[in-house]
Amino acid sequence: MFTRKLSYILVIAAVAFSTSTLAQNESRLPEGIPDLEAGQINPPSANWLLDAEDDQERFRRIQIYAGGTYEQMWQIGYRYEQIYHAIIDENWELADHHWDKITSVFNVALMKRPRRTPNAEAMFLNSSWIQFKQALDSHDVNSIRQSFQNQRNTCMACHVAEEMPFLNDSPIFRNTAEFPEN
């Protein structure tokens, strides 16, 4: 009983604190990104690019916004899962659509993080990616399924090569380890 009362009081206090601080606070640039204040000509507003002091600072902000490989891998992971389901549905056009997008997206990641280009091209873009494209063109269910499993292995091998093996112990790869009987 006492603990329940205490938790009510804590919730009320937290709400009161957050509304009072929200009311007091003016817009301000976050501490988590260095040198934003120094590169700003006007008080912080939604014009986060236009109010930067010059193009150098604007491009720096866009680079930060664009993030690293993870921004594209997130999307690659999504498309990879869509392909898995498209294979079950035997929707080859959809699989092909996502597979094509994966190359463009991957190249964007490599433009931002060129250190990853050698592994990405040797292990995936110039080899494994082409094999799955050919399998899709064949419309042969068994070779498409087989080739998809090879892609899965390549994705995971690159994560190991890039020293992030923990990425592989995850639902995205577990759930695509095999296909239901057709």
Nearest to 97 by CA among 79, 110, 115, 81: 79
Q: Which is nearer to ligand HEC, 8 or 74 (CB)?
A: 74
Contact 80, 89 (CB under 8 A): no
Question: CB of residue 121 vs ligand HEC: minimum separation in angstroms?
Answer: 9
Q: Is 151 in the site for ligand HEC (CB under 6 A)?
A: yes
CA distance 20 to 41: 29
Stretch that binds ligand HEC, among 12-20, 42-50, 135-143, 149-157 (CB under 6 A): 149-157
Look at phi and psi of residue 161 and say left if phi exceeds 0, alpha if psi is from -120 to 50, else beta.
Answer: alpha
Q: Which of 76, 86, 105, 135 binds ligand HEC (CB under 6 A)?
A: 76
Q: Is 111 in the site for ligand HEC (CB under 6 A)?
A: no
CA distance 134 to 129: 9
Q: Is 70 in the site for ligand HEC (CB under 6 A)?
A: yes
Q: Is 74 in the site for ligand HEC (CB under 6 A)?
A: yes
**Site size for ligand HEC, by CB under 6 A?**
22
Q: Which of 84, 124, 132, 148 binds ligand HEC (CB under 6 A)?
A: 124
Give Cα separations from 89 to 2, 6, 22, 23, 176 (angstroms). 56, 54, 50, 53, 14
Stretch that binds ligand HEC, among 5-13, 28-36, 48-56, 113-121 (CB under 6 A): 113-121
